[in-house]
Amino acid sequence: MAEVAEKEIKKSEGLFSKKNRKLLTDPLDANNPVTVQVLGICSSLAVTVQLKPAIVMALGLTFVTAFSNLLISMIRDTIPSRIRIIVQLAIVSVFVIVLDQLLKAYVYDVWKQLSVFVGLIITNCIVMGRLEAYAMANKPWPSFLDGIGNGLGYGVILVAVAFIRELFGSGSLFGFKVLPSWYIGNGLMMLPAGACIIVGIIIWIQRSWNGYAEED
Amino acid sequence: MKFLRNLLDKQKPAFEKGGKYEKLHPVFDAFETFLFSPNHTTGSTGAQIRDAVDLKRMMNTVIIAMLPCLLFGMWNVGYQHHLATGKAADFISQFLIGAWAVIPVVIVSYSVGLGIEFYFAVRKGHSVNEGYLVTGMLIPLVMPPTIPLWQVALATAFAVIIGKEVFGGTGMNILNVAMTARAFLYFAYPGQMAGSNVWAYLGDEKTVQGYSGATALGIVAETSAKLSEDKTGLPFANAGVQALTSDAWIKGLFSDWNLFIGTVPGSIGETSTLMCLIGAVILIFTGVGSWKIIVSGFAGTYLMALLLNTLAINAFMAIPAHYHIVMGGVAFGIVYMATDPVTAAHTETGKWIYGFLIGAFTVLIRVFNPAYPEGIMLAVLLMNVFAPLIDFYVVDANKQRRKNRLKYATL
C-alpha cells in the first residue's frame, strides 16, 4: 500500500526532484541569505566568537525556519492577508520557545552563551523573509525544504565566521587549543567588528568566485 | 643619471605591449616614473596644460614634511632608552640606538605595503599609485618603538587591503590607511600597543629602579579615574598637572615644555608637537596640506578643552587646555592624518567643520572614556566616515542659497 502511494507522489513530482534539490542547495551559495541577501547579520556577528554556540544557533535557526515554513504553508490559504504578519509571528514564536526550552534542558551552557539571541530568532529577517517570500505561496514540502536550505545557508556562513574567529582569536577550535602556545590571540577577532570584516571578506571571495557585477 | 636612463631605456621594450614582461608593465612604470619625471603627454582633446606638481611630487612633499618628526623620533627613542636604562650617552649614540629600533619598522612597512600595491597594480593592470609612499612612512611613526615587526607587517597588509584596495585603491579609500593600521593593532593586540610597557625601547637591558613607562595621557587618565572612584570631593583643579609632576619617574619629565619639545615616551613620531608644527609649516607653505583643517583642528582641541575646564567634573577635564595640544599625538594626527586629501572633507567650509570636530572629539574621547587614553586615532577615523556627509550638507546649503537668490531675483 505504502509503495503505491509513494509511486503516485513520484509521478506528480519527486520528493527530491531537481527543483526541490535546488531549494536546498541554492541558499548555500548563489542565493545565500547572509552574504547575498544580507539578512541575519546581527546574530552572525553576535554568536560567532566560538564554534559551538554558532553551530547550535545554526541548527536552531534551521529548525525554526523549516517548521514555521511548513506550518505556515499548510494554513496559507486560510490566513487572512491583512493579519498574516501577526499569524506568522505567533507561529515563529511557538517554535522559538520550543527551541529555547530544548536548549535550556539539554545544552544549558550553550544556551547561556547565546543569551538573548535565541529569543531574537523571532525577529530574524531570514525567518520572516522566507515565510513572506516563499511559504505563503508554495506547497508544504517545498516550503519545508526551503526552510532547511536557508537555515543551512545561514549556518554555513555562521560556522565559517566562527571557525576563523575562534581559530585566530583564541587559537582554539571547539574550546581545544590547536595553535601552539606562542600564538598571541588576535583581539579584533573577539570583537563583533572583526566578524563584520570577516563576513565582508567572505562576500568578496564569493563574488569574485561567482562573477558578480554591480548593477547600475 | 645618464646611466640610469640608458639602463631603463634598454629594458623598456620588454615591458611594452607584446614584450616579454608585458604583465609587469606597472612595476616597470612605477620605477621609471619614480626616478624620472613622467613623459606622458595629454591627449589631443581636453586639457592641454599639465602642472608639474603631480601626485608623486605632492607625496614627496608630505614625506619631507614628515622628516623632522622621523628624525626627532629616532633620537627620542634612543633618548628614552638611555633614560630608562639609566645610562649616559652622547647625541650620536642615542640617535643610532633609536635608528636601530625604528628603521626596521620603516623597512617592514614599506616592503609589505608596496608589495601589496605592486601585486594589485599588476592584477588590475593600472599603474602603481604613489599614495603608499606617505602611508608607509606614517605607519611606523604611529607605532610604539617596541612593536613586533610581524605585527607591523600584519597591520600594514590589513590596512592596505581592507582599508584601501577593496575600495578601489589610492584616492578611493574612506578611512585614512595609516590610522586603519594603527586601529587594527590597537584592537587586535592591545598588549603591544597600549599600557605602560611599550613606549620605551629597552633592547635586552634592565630598567633603572623606579622606572615607569606610562605616558602623560596614561598618568592623567589614571589619576582622573582614581579621583572619580574615591569620591572624596577633592577639588580637581590642578590634580592632573600635579600627577604629571609627582608621578613622573624622573623629576620634570612631563613638564609642559618637555611635552611640547617631545622628550617624553610615546609613539615613534608623535611625541614632539614642535616637529609637527614644523611639518605643518612645510605643508601649509607648499599648499599640500589644508591650513584650514590644521588651524580648525587645533582650535577645536583648545576650545573643547576650555569648555570642559569650566565643567570640570573629573580631573582630566580640569587639566589646562594647552596640555591637550601638547600631550599625546593630537598635533601629529591633525597635521599629517587629518589633512589627508582623500579622506578629509573636500569643500572649503567642510574643512573648517571637519578639522574642528576632529579636535573636539579627540578631547571628548580622552576625557570621558578611560579605556582610551588617546582619542586622536578614533576621532580621525570617525570624522573620515563623516566627511562625505559634511560635504553633502555644505553643497546642499550652497544650492539652497542660490535657489533662494534666484527666487528673490524673479520676484
User: Is residue A189 one of the residues assigned to a domain?
Assistant: no
User: Is residue A74 one of the residues assigned to a domain?
Assistant: yes
Q: What is the ipTM of this complex?
A: 0.78
The predicted structure's pLDDT at residue A107: 86
Partner A contacted by B157 (CB < 8 A): no
User: Is residue A132 one of the residues assigned to a domain?
Assistant: yes
Angstrom distance (rounded) from CA B25 to CA B14:
9
Tell me the chain B residues in contact with residue A184 when contact means C-beta distances shorter than 8 Å.
Answer: 189, 191
Report domain extents, chain B. 2-35, 55-193, 216-248+289-398
Angle (CA) B121-B124-B128 rounded to 5° is: 20
User: Is residue A62 one of the residues assigned to a domain?
Assistant: yes
The predicted structure's pLDDT at residue B38: 64
Q: Is residue B252 left, alpha or beta, with left meaning phi > 0 and alpha meaning psi from -120 to 50?
A: left
Angstrom distance (rounded) from CA B294 to CA B277:
10
**Mind spelling out the 3-state secondary structure of chain B?**
CHHHHHHHHHHHHHHCCCCCCHHHHHHHHHHHHHHCCCCCCCCCCCCCCCCCCCHHHHHHHHHHHHHHHHHHHHHHHHHHHHHHHCCCCCHHHHHHHHHHHHHHHHHHHHHHHHHHHHHHHHHHCCCCCCHHHHHHHHHHHCCCCCCCHHHHHHHHHHHHHHHHHHHCCCCCCCCCHHHHHHHHHHHHCHHHHCCCCCCCCCCCCCCCCCCCCCCHHHHHHHHHHHHHHHCCCCCCCCHHHHHHHHHCCCCCCCCHHHHHHCCCCCCCCCCCHHHHHHHHHHHHHHCCCCHHHHHHHHHHHHHHHHHHHHHCCCCCCCCCHHHHHHCCCHHHHHHHHCCCCCCCCCCHHHHHHHHHHHHHHHHHHHHHCCCCCCCHHHHHHHHHHHHHHHHHHHHHHHHHHHHHHHHHHHC
Task: Identify the closest residue of chain A to B190 by CA–CA distance.
Answer: A187
Distance from CA of A162 to the nearest CA of B (A): 17
User: Is residue A215 one of the residues assigned to a domain?
Assistant: no
Measured CA to CA in angstroms, residue A86 lies from A2, A80, A99 at distances of: 38, 11, 20
Quote the cell numbers at residue B129: 599609485
Residue A177 backbone dihedrals phi, psi, to 5 degrees: -65, 125
Tell me the chain A residues in contact with residue B189 when contact means C-beta distances shorter than 8 Å.
Answer: 184, 186-187
Angstrom distance (rounded) from CA B157 to CA B163:
9
Number of domains in chain A: 1
> Could you tell me which residues are beta bridge partners of residue A176?
A173
Evaluate whether A28 touches A152 at the Cβ level (below 8 Å).
yes
CA dihedral defined by B319, B324, B325, B329, rounded to 10 degrees? Answer: 150
For chain B, which residues score pLDDT lower than 50?
A: none
The predicted structure's pLDDT at residue B253: 78
The predicted structure's pLDDT at residue B393: 95
User: Is residue A20 one of the residues assigned to a domain?
Assistant: no
Q: What's the domain range around A158?
A: 43-164
- Exposure pattern of A180-205 as b/e (b: 16+ CB <10 Å)? eeeeebbbbbbbeebbebbbeebbee
Q: Which of B162, B166, B188 sits opposite A187 (nearest CB)?
A: B188
For chain A, which residues score pLDDT lower than 50?
A: 1-2, 4
The predicted structure's pLDDT at residue B303: 93
The predicted structure's pLDDT at residue A2: 47
Distance from CA of A119 to the nearest CA of B (A): 30
- Sequence-ordered list of residues with C-beta below 8 angstroms from that of B62, at least 6 positions apart, any chain: B134, B283, B288, B289, B336
Query: Contact B187/A184, CB-based, under 8 Å?
Result: no
Partner A contacted by B382 (CB < 8 A): no
The predicted structure's pLDDT at residue B168: 81
* A172 CB burial (10 A radius; 0-12, 13-18, 19+): middle
> Could you tell me which residues are beta bridge partners of residue A173?
A176
* B346 CB burial (10 A radius; 0-12, 13-18, 19+): middle
C-alpha A86 chain-centroid distance: 22
User: Is residue A84 one of the residues assigned to a domain?
Assistant: yes
> Could you tell me which residues are beta bridge partners of residue A172?
A177
Distance from CA of A49 to the nearest CA of B (A): 14
The predicted structure's pLDDT at residue A187: 84
Query: Contact A197/B188, CB-based, under 8 Å?
Result: no
User: Is residue A35 one of the residues assigned to a domain?
Assistant: no
Q: What is the pTM of this model?
A: 0.84
Quote the longest CA-to-CA distance of chain B. 81
A contact test, residue of B187, B189, B378 with most A CBs within 10 A = B187
